Structure 1
Amino acid sequence: MRAFIFTYIGGTMIEIKGLSKSFSTANGTLLALDNVNLTLEKGELVGIIGMSGAGKTTLLRCLSLLERPDDGEIVIDHLNLLDAKDDRMREYRQKIGVVFQGNQLLKQRNVYDNIAFPLTLKNRKKEEYDARIKHLIELVGLTGKEKSYPSQLSGGQKQRVAIARALASEPDLLLLDEPTSALDSITTRALLDLLKEIHQKTQATILIITHELSVVEKVCEKVVVIDGGQFIEEGKVSDIFNNPQHKTTRLLLGLED
């Protein structure tokens, strides 16, 4: 049975309300997120785009609760997670899969063990998860690589392992931070095809943080543009890309110098 915090009401997956996050730097206070608001519907595939330093990764870290916002709410099923007790926070974290830049694989574990790692942390026995890990290996196109170590894999293969590991706990929300940033164009296309297939088969809500417009254009249904810690435009990908209203969006699209 699913934890109650992921019981969907009205189809809404997650609401971000007035979220703000600042950091102290040598030059003073940096406001990384400035009163941002966003609603993610169940099963949406959303892209967050913006220039370097716009606040994209800070948003992802706040959603995954690796950073605690200074202000605002992250609401699921009328529950503000930032006010939730520890046991409910743990339930939330267990239903999120995160793929960070650099994939962060365990060098001393093979493909199978890297993917299974989140389940071993829950003291699950191998006979309980073996079929799922084998299914994930097949899903991400790594059949035959089960016993390979990260040093024996290409960049694209490592990213596939990271995605499979993020899916091991059957998350409702999958967060990806620049998933194609270190990949060549051919590998990028293959990985994006994989993400579309995963979305179709799992119906997970997927949020992709990226600066690559081609990624959003190829796989996302909705796009949010972030600049200076604020969401400046959001809507259907075709609408935003064909008729950008904000100068930063036009710059990202190459329509202004």
Structure 2
Amino acid sequence: MWAQEVASVATEFLTNLETYVATREGYESIAELRLAANRRSLGQLLLGATHMQSDNLGLTFVERVQSISTNLPGYPSLMRAYGALSKMSVMNEYLTHKAHYMRGGEGGMSRTAQYLRYCMAQMEQLRMIKIYRTPVMLRNACSILTHSLTVILAPYFVHAGKCDAGVEDAGFGPWCPAPYVMACLWVLITTLLLNVQDSNEHPLNMLGVDDVFLNLSEEFRDVIADARYQAGSIPDDGSCFDQWRMQFDAKWRSAATD
């Protein structure tokens, strides 16, 4: 049946999209990937590989980036997801031809094209969320400041740890416990914030409790199962499509006569 074939292709698309989004690529960001491509040529020059070969210095920077990108673990799943979208596009064109329409926007067929366009747009948005990272210099600055301020503020904690004469009589001696508590809280809070920032850089890898867990294929199967249960028996492809086309033809004829 036509609907079952479309549902199968849509499930294939969602499954591969989930796999791609949750796969760790080995590179933290596109900037790191480009840096690796640039270092590859410089390293070969330093090692004395000055001869021009198609797999070494003969490749341009863009070709080296593309070569690394095609060898990433999530690349096959991404290509299969694009392939599923291509299948749905071909099926949409075939359905338009079967309806005896000359263009995809006739007879309400533009709805399927819009659905396909939205699927592509949402996939690209998820891909951008997966590969986007906070600028590397900003992340390094946060890490350096977090670790260095702990050492820089140590004299302040030592100075603040000296108690007044009235506090010494309370039984604490010449040193107060409050600065030690302040130092521990400072290290705890800044370290937690730094780890939270690092965890939020990968919101879709499904490793942390705060990550976005995608279960699109199972949700889609549940929706299809509920639709089949509510609709009862679904007619075959030909009769279902003919009834749908007859209804639209009747509406168009009535609108033309008015």
Give TM class, smaller chain: under 0.3
Calculate the TM-score normalised by the size of structure 1: 0.24
Decide which structure has greater strand share. 1
Instruction: Kindly name which structure, 1 or 2, has the bigger radius of gyration based on alpha carbons.
Output: 2
Task: Give the TM-score taking structure 2 as reference length.
Answer: 0.23
